Structures are given as C-alpha cells and as structure tokens.
C-alpha cells in the first residue's frame, strides 16, 4: 500500500493571523487543499495529516485521518507521531510532504514513485532545478544515487553553485521509514528531530538513497510570511492564465484577473481586466466576460456578454447580454437571448428566453416566461416578513414601469400591468391590471410653501 503523510503543523506566526499556515489560501483554496488534492489525484491509498490546530482537523473532517502533534520538535518528530498509522501496513511506500508547499502535483508524485520503486530506494528525495537556489538545501549526487543534502549555511562555495534543490518531499519504503525514525536524534542547536537526517542514516546503514528531479520547478515553493504567500498566489495565477491562453482564451491585459484552477473556459472567450472567476465555474466559447465581473460556481453558455456582473451559483445560457452593474444571486437560471440591463438584481429565479429586464428592477423567487418585458423600477415583493413566496409571470407578459408584484401572484400569457400598479391578485391571460388612486392636484402649493 502506498500512502502519504502530510505535515500540516505550521503555526504561521509570521503571517500575523490566528490561522495555521497550511490554511492560508492560494487562488481561493487553502494550501493544504492543493497538497491533499494532488495526493488524491495520484490515487494514493490513504493519507494521514499531522496537525497542531483544531482548524486543520475541522477542515479535513472525514476526508483523511489526522494525528495530533502536541509539541513542535522538528519535521522528524512530526513524522514520528504517525508511526502507529504507518505500522498498520508496511508493505509499500510512504510519501512525506509539506502542507504549506502547494505546488506538488500528481504527475510528480506518480513519476517519483515509479523511480523510487524501480531503483529499490529506501528513500527518494523529490527535487527541482531552479535558477536561484539561495536558501535551499542542495542535492549532492553520486553515480549511484545521492550522498546527501547540504543546507545553505553549511555548503561550500562549490556546493552553493548546485541548482538542484530539496523540495521537502520524500518517498520512503514504509518499513525503512519506521526504522530510520527510531535512529534520528535531536543532537543539534535547535534540539529538534530533522527528517533530513534519515538520508545520512540510510546511507550509513548501506541502504540506497536516490533523487527524482521534477519537471515542475514550483514544487519547492512555500510561504513563511505574507510576501511569500503573495508570490505563491502570483505564480499560481499566472500559471492558470497561461494554461487558458494555450486553450484559446484571450486577455488584452491581465490586470486584476484572478481565475481559480478548476474553472473551465471555452476557446474564443475574452476575459477583461478586473474579473474574478471562482470555484467550479464553466464558461462557453466566444464570450466576453468583464470588465469587473465576479463569477462564482456559475455556468455560462456560448456567445454571452457580461459587463460588471456578479453571478453566484447560477446558470446563464448562450447568447445572453447582462450588465452593467447586475447581481445574479444563487439559484437563478437565465435562458438564452435574454437581456438584463443596468442595476438589476435576480435572485433564485427562472428567466425565460428572449426576455428583457432592462434596468432598475428586482426579480426574486419568480418564474418568468419567454418574451417578457419588465419595465424600469419593477419589483417582485417576495418576502412578507415571515416567509418568501414566488411570482409566476407568463409568456409575452408586459410589466409596466414601477409595478410591484405582491407574491404569491400569477400573471397569465400576454398579461399587462399599467405603470405604477401594485398587483395583489392573479391577472388572467390577455388582461390589463391597473391600480391607480385618484390624482389630486393642489394649485399654488409650492408658491405658498416658499412664501412661508
């Protein structure tokens, strides 16, 4: 059985926030989520996460097993806490990796395991070659494997020229890992147990140590402070944008554009500055999204145009034009060829095809038919202070300006409402609803007002 141990005990003190370091987000997801999802994509049999904060345990839930690390005594000590877990099955190999190094990828995990198994290594270090290796442990290679890892402060001038560095991820034969953990000591200035010491011990015991150099140089990247976290977000953001460009998505400028890694976008679509696309959103082909849109967990069809729109947990079909300054709230479905103009809010509603809601309107908890026109200043009054009710608007209905529909109410096919009407009863097909009080005109009112 091949398994993973994720070290997620970092406190993140230099982040200056009461959040464990692995829970700080990169492109909207905790760093721990990036690592865990890479292990899942690599189809490792099981995973255990070492933690110090209850926030980690609460986030993981039943997703994987957790082990509490009561003391911070080094990386080796952290892995020691998982020995009861490791001892349950020692037949395969164990990957040890850091919960605050988010860019480990499933391809690197799988390929390094193949190398680890083929070479019959006791330990295989995952490495990367970088242009600026300063601050990282250098990999000392031999003809048959590696001789060890030398840290920056301990390296000679010649060793500092080495550009292959330690990622902090290691494959171990599980049985060997348990034995090696029992031999490391805390005989150092920090009085901590270092996992890297297992390599030297393995070599002393006549075991083989190897290295796998990942094609992804970002596997080494982590964050110790807010500046480092910004660098991670910048690297992740640009990697996602470049992937979309390779798939035919256009960007005239990338300023303010953030696209999370699970978003799908069709070829020919252009994303304009200031646009944020989150979650599991899917956008079709030949759309224009932006400027200044927020799209979250929303599906958008082909050839649609959204300008300064916020859309959440909704479906927008093809050939729709929305904006500017429109809010599409969760549970909404906007059918094809619909026009939704400025300062309109849609909430938990079905909007039929070829309908126009041009400006300054609120449609909430409603089913709106096809070819409907909703005028300026209209509102569905869906909440009576206790419960919410729905409005039904039939095909080809015409809702005059400043109409209030007091839910629950139903308007039939081709029903009309006169401007300024408050509808409190159902309106049948082809009928006109008019609700206007007597108009009183007081001559000379303003003249008398200003004379006083």
Among all residues, which ones are annotated catalytic? Answer: 359
User: Cα angle at 133 between 132 and 134, to 5 degrees?
Assistant: 95
**H or E, element range at 146:** strand 146-150
Helix-strand-coil percent breakdown of the chain, rounded to 5? 20, 30, 45
The neighbouring-strand residues paired with 204 are none
DSSP state string for 21-90: GGGSEETTEEHHHHHHHHHHHTT-SEEEEEESSHHHHHHHTTSSEEEE--S---HHHHHHTTHHHHTT--
Nearest one of 311, 315, 259, 223 to 20, comparing CA atoms? 223
CA distance linking residue 129 with residue 148, whole number of Å: 16
CB burial readout 47-76, b (16+ within 10 A) else e = bbbbbbbeebeebbeeebebbebeeebbbb
By the 8 A CB rule, do 139 and 123 touch?
Answer: no
DSSP state string for 366-432: EEE-TT-EE-TT-EEE-B-SS-B--EEE-TT-EE-TT-EEESSEEE-TT-EE-TT-EE-S-B-TT-E
| Structural tokens at position 360 | 């300054």
CA distance linking residue 57 with residue 72, whole number of Å: 17
């Amino acid at each position: 059985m091949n398994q993973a141990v994720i070290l997620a005990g970092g406190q993140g003190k230099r982040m200056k926030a009461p959040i464990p370091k692995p829970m700080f987000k990169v492109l909207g997801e905790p760093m721990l989520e990036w690592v865990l999802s890479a292990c899942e994509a690599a189809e490792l049999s099981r995973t255990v996460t070492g933690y110090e904060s209850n926030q980690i345990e609460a986030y993981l839930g039943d997703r994987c097993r957790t082990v509490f690390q009561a003391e911070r005594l080094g990386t080796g000590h952290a892995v020691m806490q998982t020995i009861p877990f490791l001892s349950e099955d020692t037949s395969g190999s164990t990957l040890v990796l850091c919960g605050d190094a988010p860019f480990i990828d499933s391809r690197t995990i799988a390929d390094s395991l193949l190398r680890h198994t083929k070479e019959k290594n006791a330990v295989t270090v995952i490495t990367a070659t970088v242009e600026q290796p300063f601050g990282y442990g250098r990999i000392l290679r031999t003809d048959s494997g590696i001789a060890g890892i030398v840290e920056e402060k301990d390296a000679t001038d010649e060793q500092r020229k080495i550009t292959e560095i330690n990622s902090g991820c290691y494959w171990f034969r599980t049985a060997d890992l348990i034995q090696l953990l029992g031999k490391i000591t805390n005989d150092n200035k920090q009085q901590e147990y270092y996992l890297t010491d297992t390599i030297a011990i393995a070599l002393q015991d006549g075991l083989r140590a190897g290295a796998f150099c990942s094609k992804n140089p970002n596997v080494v990247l982590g964050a110790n402070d807010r500046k480092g976290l910004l660098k991670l977000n910048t690297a992740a953001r640009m990697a996602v944008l470049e992937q979309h460009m390779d798939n035919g998505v256009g960007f005239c400028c990338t300023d303010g554009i953030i696209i999370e890694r699970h978003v799908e976008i069709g070829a020919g679509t252009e994303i304009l500055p200031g646009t944020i696309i989150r979650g599991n959103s899917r956008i079709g082909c030949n759309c224009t999204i932006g400027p200044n849109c927020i799209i979250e967990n929303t599906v958008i069809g082909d050839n649609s145009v959204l300008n300064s729109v916020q859309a959440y947990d909704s479906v927008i079909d093809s050939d729709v034009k929305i904006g500017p300054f429109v809010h599409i709230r969760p549970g909404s479905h906007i059918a094809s060829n619909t026009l939704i103009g400025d300062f309109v809010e849609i909430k938990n509603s079905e909007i039929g095809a070829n309908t126009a809601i041009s400006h300054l309107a609120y449609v909430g908890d409603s089913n709106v038919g096809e070819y409907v026109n909703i005028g300026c200043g209209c509102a569905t009054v869906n909440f009576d202070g206790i419960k919410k009710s729905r409005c039904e608007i039939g095909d080809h209905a015409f809702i005059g300006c400043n109409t209030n529909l007091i839910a629950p109410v139903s308007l039939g096919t081709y029903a009309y409402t006169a401007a300024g009407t408050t509808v409190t009863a159902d309106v049948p097909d082809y009928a006109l609803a008019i609700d206007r009080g007597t108009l009183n005109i007081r001559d000379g009112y303003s003249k008398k007002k200003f004379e006083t």
